[in-house]
């Protein structure tokens, strides 16, 4: 049992401080310290002030009475001070103080060898003002100008008189050159209570990165039981690091997670691995993910994403509150190369998916692209605004149960865009040419012209005593595409576009290239904006749009024609009446059935560390949810975070969070409670997480902060 406690203490409190996460000492009461410039004591004369001085026959100088010696950047004050000119040794006794660029010391004795620039101090109290650390020792040995050994030490980063945490031990080695402190046979105290014994530890004394263990994350959840995660940071090189996190779950066993990051001049990436031999399910469970981006020669860029999990419930069981991974239906994997020049853009893509939602039928799962080749260009050959554009792709589609084959899709186009301060006018003619070579040896060809005309006007006026500018921007978008029977064309990657303002100004109502919708239509839209004249800040943006059809549309995915003369009516509003406040709303109204098919509202206020959010979502496709979230600093030490996210349709929580952050001068505590449901709202899990950080000794991990930042708009790491 004793060995188990020892190992636990060693794991929990080996230490590290990230370069990009400097501690905040703003809550400390210690006055700001102005560093003493580091000067070469050997090259500068010494200056001594004292009330009396005597000289003995053996060339020993003795000073007494408010003695002050200045040698370079060092200042020594003492009741008595002796200098042996033959051996160049200095001895001070009584009430002795020592100040240098690195230390402030109060001691009962001091001996300095000026030849070797070494020193021995007696019983001492010390400060490292530039490092915000202090303590005491039975003796201190200055080995060289950048390194000192402290015997029987006490070390803390807390203000004098409030040692909430401190470290004691037999020896402390502080190395200013390496930026590291090491201690032997150390005991960590918190609130006067010894909590861990550490035979050997190493920790940072400046902002340089170093290997070590981050603050542990303690937790409990209903599905995993008690847990502890201990991230170990490995500073491999200035441009490469790794975080290795063993985690233990009482219900499932030991999990190992690794994250490796690398950054070079022409490539960067991250490799994530996770493995668990699950005791609860008696199964080996794992995750692997590799993201890589590179710039090759000739302006070629590479993008690689490889990821896979062992089972469909991996993210649901092990992902942290606040993450969206548990709601993912498919994991994408791809390898992509692209090149962009002034006139051409080319690319090649291999893409497939791992389906996580096993309730999705095989026929409904996405196709693999093996590969997709694109070649796009834009030219202005006559330099008179007449532009020639081509969008071309060839794709080989593969699937386990559906028809497979290749698709060649070419869209050459001519456009003559004209713009001015008060208008824009863009007629465009496209020709969509598509060829299918299916693996059943059948061939399908399709050619369709697409004619569009996009025009708009821009009116402006001054309002609010000329402080604001209001615009009125009507827009008409005409599209004509003739009908061609496409029922025999397979559906590789096509879907009906959702209703949105931007989608109403697209020529094709389908995504992908397998369906080109026949239409004779005009989209009528209008936008109005209010802008601050001096800063350009957008105070208000409102826009409304609707499509009017001149004939029925016969091309569809389900074989049924669309006969409505009008689309749904879209209205979108965004307000920012004061800095920090944002209000957004969207309504989709079905005029024929006279119902709202979609409505959402979001309100966000973020300023000076405060954040309040309210959101509401509704669609007629079985979705109605509401969310409230808050980041509320009670004072400069206490912060409350909360989120209430409820499915109104199922009357169950999507994600509820409540957390408390406490920060003092030298330590911090984060507590987060959560209640989450799976994507089917069949299982609800409750969990609690605790993270304790000692500033200057251990640095907080990223789990709680990263997840809260994702879950709550406006949340920022507290310490």
Tracing tokens 């060693």 back to the chain, one arrives at 10
d(CA 709, CA 473): 36
Q: What pLDDT does 42 receive? A: 52
For residue 359, what are the contacts with CB-CB under 8 A and spacing of at least 6? none
Q: Stretch 505-510: mean pLDDT, rounded?
A: 98
- A 10 A CB-CB count for 7 gives 10
| 71 — pLDDT class (breaks 50, 70, 90) | confident
* Residue recorded with tokens 């410039």: 37
H/E segment holding residue 511:
strand 510-511
- In this predicted structure, what is the pLDDT of residue 31? 57
* Residue 683 pLDDT greater than 90, yes or no: no
pLDDT digits (tens, 9 = 90+) for 129-147: 777 899 999 999 999 888 9
Distance (Å, whole) CA 246 – CA 485: 59
Phi, psi torsion values for 3, nearest 5 degrees: -65, -40
Task: Name the residue range of residue 123's domain.
Answer: 44-211
| pLDDT classification of 178: cutoffs 50, 70, 90 | confident
In this structure, of 258-272, 450-464, 531-545, 675-689, the range with the lowest mean pLDDT score is 675-689
CATH number at residue 141: 2.60.450.10
Per-residue model confidence as pLDDT tens digits over 338-352: 999 988 999 999 999
Please tell me the total count of domains within the chain: 1
Spatial contact of 610 and 618, defined as CB atoms under 8 Å apart:
no
| Of residues 70, 69, 66, the one with CA closest to residue 80 | 66
Positive or negative torsion for Cα 546, 549, 553, 555: negative
- Residue 44 — pLDDT band, cuts 50, 70, 90? low
CB 654 within 8 A of CB 678: no
Please tell me the number of Cα atoms within 13 Å of 688 on its side-chain side.
5
- Token pair, residue 577, equals 């009446």
**Residue 323 included in any domain:** no
Answer whether residue 112 is part of any domain.
yes
Residue 93 lies in a domain: yes
* Count of C-beta atoms within a 10 Å radius of residue 70: 17
- Looking at the chain, how many residues does it have? 719
Q: What does the alpha-carbon distance between residue 374 and residue 378 come to, in Å, rounded to a whole number?
A: 14
The sign of the CA dihedral 557, 563, 565, 571 is negative
pLDDT (tens digit, 9 = 90+) per residue, 646-662?
A: 999 888 999 999 999 99
What's the mean pLDDT when you consider all of the chain? 90
Give the model's confidence band at 701: pLDDT under 50 very low, under 70 low, under 90 confident, else very high: low
672 in any annotated domain? no
Confidence (pLDDT) at 87 = 86
Spatial separation of the C-alpha atoms in residues 572 and 700, rounded to whole Å? 41
pLDDT > 70? residue 19: no
Lowest-confidence segment of 382-386, 548-552, 635-639 by average pLDDT: 382-386
Q: Compare 712 and 73 and report the one with higher pLDDT.
A: 712
The pLDDT confidence band at residue 514, using thresholds 50, 70 and 90, is: very high
Closest Cα to residue 535, out of 467, 582, 581, 470? 467
pLDDT category, 220, cuts 50, 70, 90? very high
Give the global pTM: 0.84
Asked whether residue 177 is domain-assigned, the answer is yes
pLDDT at 202 over 80: yes
H/E stretch holding 705: helix 703-711
16, 43, 176, 178: which is closest to 100 by C-alpha? 176
The pLDDT confidence band at residue 212, using thresholds 50, 70 and 90, is confident
- Rounded Cα distance between 378 and 405, Å, is 29
* Sign of the alpha-carbon dihedral angle for 176, 182, 186, 189: positive
Mean pLDDT of 563-567: 96
Q: Is the pLDDT of residue 700 over 70?
A: no
Residue 461: pLDDT above 50?
A: yes
Say what the pLDDT of residue 95 is.
92
Lookup result for tokens 């400046």: 206
Contact predicate 15/213, CB 8 Å:
yes
Q: In the beta sheet, which residues pair with residue 709?
A: none
State the pLDDT at residue 300. Answer: 96
Report the pLDDT value the prediction gives residue 23, as an integer from 0 to 100. 67
Q: Which of 208-222, 259-273, 693-707 comes out lowest in average pLDDT? A: 693-707
From residue 297, alpha-carbon distances to 338, 344, 481, 680 in Å are 11, 16, 42, 48
Q: Quote the pLDDT of residue 22.
A: 53
Residue 368 domain-assigned (yes or no): no
């Amino acid at each position: 049992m004793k060995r188990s406690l020892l190992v636990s203490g060693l794991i929990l409190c080996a230490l590290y401080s990230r370069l990009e996460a400097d501690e905040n000492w703003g809550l400390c009461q210690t006055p700001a310290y102005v560093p003493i410039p580091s000067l070469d004591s050997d090259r500068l004369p010494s200056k001594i002030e004292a009330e009396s001085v005597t000289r003995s026959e053996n060339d020993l100088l003795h000073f007494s009475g408010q003695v002050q010696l200045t040698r370079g950047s060092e200042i020594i004050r003492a009741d008595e001070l002796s200098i042996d000119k033959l051996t160049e040794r200095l001895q001070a006794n009584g009430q002795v103080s020592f100040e240098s660029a690195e230390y402030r010391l109060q001691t009962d004795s001091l001996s300095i060898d000026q030849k070797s620039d070494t020193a021995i101090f007696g019983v001492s109290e010390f400060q490292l003002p530039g490092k915000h650390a202090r303590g005491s020792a039975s003796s201190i040995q200055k080995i060289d100008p950048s390194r000192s050994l402290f015997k029987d030490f006490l070390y803390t980063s807390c203000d004098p008189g409030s040692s909430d945490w401190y470290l004691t031990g037999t020896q402390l080695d502080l190395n200013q050159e390496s930026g590291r402190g090491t201690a032997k046979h150390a005991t960590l105290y918190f609130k006067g209570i010894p909590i861990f014994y550490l035979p050997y530890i190493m920790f940072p004394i400046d902002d340089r990165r170093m290997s070590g263990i981050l603050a542990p994350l303690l937790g409990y959840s209903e599905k995993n039981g008690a847990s502890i995660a201990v991230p170990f940071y490995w500073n491999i090189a200035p441009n490469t690091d790794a975080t290795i996190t063993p985690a233990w779950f009482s219900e499932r066993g030991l999990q190992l997670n690794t994250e490796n990051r690398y950054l070079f001049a022409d490539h960067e990436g991250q490799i994530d691995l996770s493995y668990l031999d699950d005791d609860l399910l008696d199964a080996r469970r794992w995750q692997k993910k590799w993201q890589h981006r590179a710039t090759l020669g000739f302006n070629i860029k590479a993008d690689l994403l490889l990821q896979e999990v062992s089972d469909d419930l991996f993210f649901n069981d092990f992902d942290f509150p606040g993450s969206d991974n548990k709601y993912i239906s498919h994991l994408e994997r791809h390898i992509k190369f692209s090149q962009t020049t002034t006139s051409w853009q080319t690319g090649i893509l291999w893409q497939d998916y791992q389906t996580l939602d096993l309730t999705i039928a095989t026929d409904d799962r996405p196709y693999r692209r093996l590969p997709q080749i694109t070649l796009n260009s834009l030219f202005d050959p006559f330099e008179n605004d007449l532009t020639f554009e081509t969008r071309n792709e060839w794709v080989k589609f593969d699937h386990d149960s559906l028809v497979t084959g290749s698709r060649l899709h070419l869209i050459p186009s001519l456009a003559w865009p004209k713009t001015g301060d008060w208008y824009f006018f863009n007629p465009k003619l496209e020709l969509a040419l598509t060829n299918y070579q299916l693996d059943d040896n059948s061939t399908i060809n399709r050619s369709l012209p697409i004619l569009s005309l996009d025009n708009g006007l821009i009116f402006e006026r001054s309002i609010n005593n000329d402080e604001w500018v209001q615009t009125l921007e009507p827009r008409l978008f005409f599209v004509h595409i003739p009908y061609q029977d496409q029922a025999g064309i397979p559906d590789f990657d096509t879907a009906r576009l959702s209703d949105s303002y931007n989608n109403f100004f697209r020529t094709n109502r389908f995504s992908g290239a397998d369906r080109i919708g026949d239409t004779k239509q005009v989209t009528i839209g209008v936008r109005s904006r209010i802008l601050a004249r001096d800063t350009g800040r957008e105070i208000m943006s409102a826009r409304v749009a609707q499509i009017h059809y001149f004939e029925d549309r016969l091309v569809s995915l389900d074989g049924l024609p669309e006969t409505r003369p009008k689309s749904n009516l879209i209205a979108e509003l965004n307000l920012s009446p004061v800095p920090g406040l944002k209000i957004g709303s969207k309504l989709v109204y079905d005029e024929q059935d006279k119902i709202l098919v979609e409505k959402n509202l979001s309100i966000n206020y973020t300023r000076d560390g405060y954040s309040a959010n309210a959101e509401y979502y509704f669609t007629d496709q079985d979705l109605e949810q509401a969310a409230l979230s808050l980041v509320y600093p009670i004072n400069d030490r206490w912060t409350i975070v909360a989120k209430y996210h409820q499915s109104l349709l199922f009357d169950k929580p999507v994600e509820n969070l409540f957390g408390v952050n406490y920060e003092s001068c030298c330590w911090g505590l984060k507590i987060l409670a959560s209640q989450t449901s799976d994507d089917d709202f069949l299982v609800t899990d409750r969990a609690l997480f605790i993270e304790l950080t000692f500033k200057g000794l251990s640095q907080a991990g990223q789990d709680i902060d990263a997840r809260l930042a994702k879950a709550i708009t406006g949340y920022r790491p507290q310490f």
